[in-house]
Amino acid sequence: MQIFVARLAGTPVFDPAGDQIGRIRDVVVGLRGARPPRVHGMVVEVRPRRRVFLPITRVRGIEAGAVIFTGKLNVRRFEQRPTETLVIAEMFDLTVTVDGEEMTVYDVAIAETKPAEWQVTQVAVYRGRRRRDTRVVEWGEVSGFDILQEDQGAAGLIASFESLRAADLANAMHALSRKRRDEVAHALDDNRLADVLEELPAGDQVGILGTLAPERAADVLEAMGPDDAADLLHDLPPDQAAALLALMEPEEAAPVRRLLTYPQDTAGGLMTSDPVILPPSSTVAEALAHIRQQELTPSVAAQVFVTRPPNETPTGRYLGMAHFQRLLRDPPSTLLGAVIDPSVDAISPDLPLPEVAAYLAVYNLVAVPVVDEHQRLVGAVTVDDVLDHMLPEDWRERL
């Protein structure tokens, strides 16, 4: 049986009892010169986003949509050895030579050659930039896997990650070498890269942003949420942050500049400046249509803030908030002014982080409005923002 590794990416892994314990993220092989590489095992991502090693000798079946193993799985974090190569992370997109012609790798096939012994058997390659003239050739027909390449592409690697959520793609990128991480970042489009940067540790964010051309870095910051962009700019040298802000479109930079005026450990430094805001004359039906937008996070979509015009931060006078559950209980034609919750008081931008967390906990809220001295809504602090700042700085790396 022969299996192409790209099809294995994301495949569920089941233990002998039939319980799913994780998903395949890569295949580990050992290069042996001209001889076909031997498969050592698979990198499996288990909850919570920990990558562990599954020896190939433990694999008892690879079926449609499932990998089944026997014995116990060592949950110690996977650490790649110097003699090992990751197929998806390091072999995809390499430029190799086939019959004297340069080709690009987009997939690799493995097969069981003996009981519990697997090897790389074939390589899928293509010519040119747009995957023309695709071919599947035997391992022995290919040369160049042992050559360090300065400018390795990332199209095949990104294709194998296409179905991953931003947080999982960020985890996968964090596990790559610095060189491959930068190559993947350069190949992602601005919106996808922005989503991934929001999920990466601060060190990775700064490192990746520093490899981008200033104009593109500004475009990516524009695609990020204003609060996440402000957090990232806080971590940059002041001169670099100021230069990137100057390159951003004025309307995109304005909310980021406002957020940068607040200390990071206050409500103003935590808040998002883009909650769902509507006037009191809007209906329940209109509010539900707004919070139904796919790009909104659950914490942002859990309520609608009601203000006098203008309805972009800083808004007109803040009137109250309407919870998602209340919107579901009232007729679609009901005006928002009639369903706001008068019991939730807004907080000021200078409220310290511990007090913001306590406020959310006491009143069982997922978001709290933030108003300025003129009672204008300037943003909202969501529970995920609070968790992000209260957890240890390296919590993403620990996961």
Q: Which CATH code is given to the segment(s) 1-142? A: 2.30.30.240
pLDDT at 224 over 70: yes
Model confidence over 276-296: pLDDT tens digits? 999 999 999 999 999 999 889
Low-confidence winner among 25-34, 210-219, 368-377 (lowest mean pLDDT): 25-34
> Could you give the residue range(s) of every CATH 2.30.30.240 domain in the chain?
1-142
Residue 155: predicted pLDDT = 74
> Could you give the residue range(s) of every CATH 3.10.580.10 domain in the chain?
277-389
Q: Which CATH code is given to the segment(s) 155-265? A: 1.25.60.10
Q: How far is CA 37 from CA 46, 91, 107, 141, 160, in A?
A: 26, 12, 14, 14, 21
Model confidence over 237-254: pLDDT tens digits? 999 999 999 999 999 999
22-51 residues labelled b (16+ CB within 10 A) or e (exposed): bbbbbbbbeeeeeebbbbbbbbbbbeebbb
Average pLDDT value for residue range 3-26 = 92
Which one-letter amino acid corresponds to residue 58? R
What's the full length of the chain, in residues? 399
Query: Is the separation of the CB atoms in 145 and 29 below 8 Å?
Result: no
Model confidence over 129-159: pLDDT tens digits? 777 789 999 999 998 887 655 566 677 778 7
pLDDT at 228 over 80: yes
> Could you give the residue range(s) of every CATH 1.25.60.10 domain in the chain?
155-265
pLDDT confidence band for 47 (50 / 70 / 90): confident
Average pLDDT value for residue range 25-36 = 89
Residue 356: predicted pLDDT = 96
Kindly state which CATH superfamily the domain 277-389 is placed in.
CBS-domain (3.10.580.10)
